[in-house]
Amino acid sequence: MLYRRFGNTGIEVSALGFGCMRLPLADPNATFHVDDGAIDEAKAMHLIRWAIDQGVNYVDTAYPYHQGNSESFLGRTLQDGYRQKVRLATKLPSWLINSRGDMDRYLDEQLGKLSTDTIDFYLVHSVNRLYWGDLVKNGLFDFLDAALRDGRIGYAGFSFHDELDMFKEALDAYSWSFCQIQYNYVDENYQAGKEGLQLAADRGLGVVVMEPLRGGKLAVNIPPAAQELWDSVLVRRSPAEWALRYLWDIPGVSVVLSGMNEMAQVEENVHIAGEAGPNMLTDTERALIDKVKKVYHSMKRIDCTGCRYCMPCPAGVDIPGCFTLFNNAHMLNDAHTHRIFYNAHIGADHKASNCVECGQCEAACPQHLPIREALKEAAALLEPDGVM
């Protein structure tokens, strides 16, 4: 296992972190995000403990994972001396916070569920415009300062799901030790993106990467044109290995989280994490990954660049946000997951179906895109009962 510096904390973390959002389920026919409360505890415990025995020392969970069961399960898994071998991360449920007291209440509950006195890395979960203002108003920074002083948390960070300008605002608002962003080779300009990653790393923050395989979509059901590219080189690697090596090649990345639910996945990822380090890809390999990225991006339905000339919409529609999720659903052939993201991150006042077809956006769009018609398609796909 290779280890990397976690920002300016002085801590060394394993290149691979174990994410506890997609643990194996007791019902093999169950669906993640829907009936995912019942964890196959024997199998999941074996996977996590085996990974720790191989050197994984960063384990990540959150209050809502597996319908609230992930933290308690992890608390049991880290008994028998395993808690002392890892840095434990979990997250404040931002959307449930209505007061300063709520923050202490949830943290204390999480400490109990995890059977620990200290959470090494504590994140404000899913920072975005919907929650940020209320969190600040309710005393977020005072809460973090107090929890750091009394030792309930070791370091404060945030996970992020919004636009780059919101990332910069959050980054400037507090003396964070680390952040967690969605990043992979198709998401270089999504949410915080490459610019946000580099900005955080330059400031000395540890950078945790989530969704390295886009929920597994970059590892299975590969578009034929992309698979031809992977097969075109002499050194054969799985699509998952290419995606992970792409991330570990970036010096600013501290740890890559993987939600592993099969032993084959754990073994493969641990093996790669023992080999892949910063600046280890060749220029030819980087060019190959860039070609595969272009294959995925060619599958988008509308060529929105996110320039935001269409904003603000008089009807309140988050046009770029809706198009990003609409495009991603097609690019990865995964409408179900992106409906979940859409309903979680696009507020009711900003959905595609709120379009009144005034045409102001199309007049302003430098790409001359058929925005009104595309918003109808996005609403049909991403709102209730949409089908691809």
pLDDT attached to residue 190: 87
pLDDT confidence bin for 262, thresholds 50/70/90: very high
Tokens of 29: 């026919």
pLDDT attached to residue 225: 94
Measured in residues, the chain has a length of 388
> Residue 81: which residues within 8 A CB-CB, separation 6 or more?
none
Q: Which pairing describes strands 87-92 and 58-60: parallel, antiparallel, or unpaired? A: parallel
User: Which residue has 């001396």 as its token pair?
Assistant: 81
pLDDT attached to residue 115: 98
Q: pLDDT exceeding 70 applies to what percent of the chain? A: 97
pLDDT attached to residue 31: 61
Q: Model confidence over 180-218: pLDDT tens digits? A: 999 999 989 889 999 999 999 999 999 999 999 988 889
Mean pLDDT across the stretch 258-287?
Answer: 95
Report DSSP letters for 73-95, one per residue. HHHHHTTTTTGGGSEEEEEE-GG
Q: Model confidence over 22-31: pLDDT tens digits? A: 999 888 776 6
Q: Where in the chain is the domain with CATH 3.20.20.100?
A: 3-289
Beta strands (DSSP E) in the chain are 3-5, 12-14, 16-19, 58-60, 87-92, 119-127, 153-160, 178-182, 206-210, 255-258
pLDDT attached to residue 388: 44
pLDDT attached to residue 30: 67
DSSP 39: B
pLDDT attached to residue 33: 54
**Which is the CATH superfamily of the domain at 3-289?**
NADP-dependent oxidoreductase domain (3.20.20.100)
